[in-house]
Amino acid sequence: MSPIKIESPHAFSSSLLFWRWLLLSFLLIAVDQVSKLTVAFVLPLHDRIEVTPFFNLVHTLNPGAAFSFLANAGGWQRHFFTLLGLLVSIFLISLLWRGVRSRLETLAYVSIVGGALGNVIDRLRIGAVVDFLDFHWQTWHWPAFNSADVFIVVGVGLMLLATIGPRGRMQAKN
């Protein structure tokens, strides 16, 4: 017989503040869209502004996924990544609605939803994603990316931390 687990009345659940978490995702989408629109307004397509010896602001369009993955795949990837972004976002939003017990995991989901939907909006609006962050060293350039990509990568990192953290290890044992 296993011991009875008593939940603290102060236990965290994302469902209690669902609308605030969703609002935070929308705020991330707004930050992403404003940054992309600003770059598109200020910088002509394919131009760059050198900010530091290792960082440029650029204006590129990426029909692929994060960091130009499948950028030259012939066009099918636009619809695939739009659908994938929508499905992942719907799934994560439904998990937040049902109640996630970890603040870190909640923030991860919020960040991924904000980034995924930010890029989905670009794909629906212009058929590609606006990228503007260009890091380089001498002749080596990391593929340009945007704030939505940063939100997604941070969200995945937070998910990993939530999984390997003390609560994540305890939940894995049960």
Residues classed as catalytic: 131, 149
- Closest Cα partner for 82 from 113, 37, 117, 32? 117
104-107, long-range: CB < 8 A, 24+ apart: 104/158, 104/161, 104/162, 104/165, 105/158, 105/159, 105/162, 106/12, 106/14, 106/21, 107/155, 107/158
Euclidean distance between CA atoms 38 and 135, whole angstroms: 19
Phi, psi of 142 (to 5 degrees): -75, 140
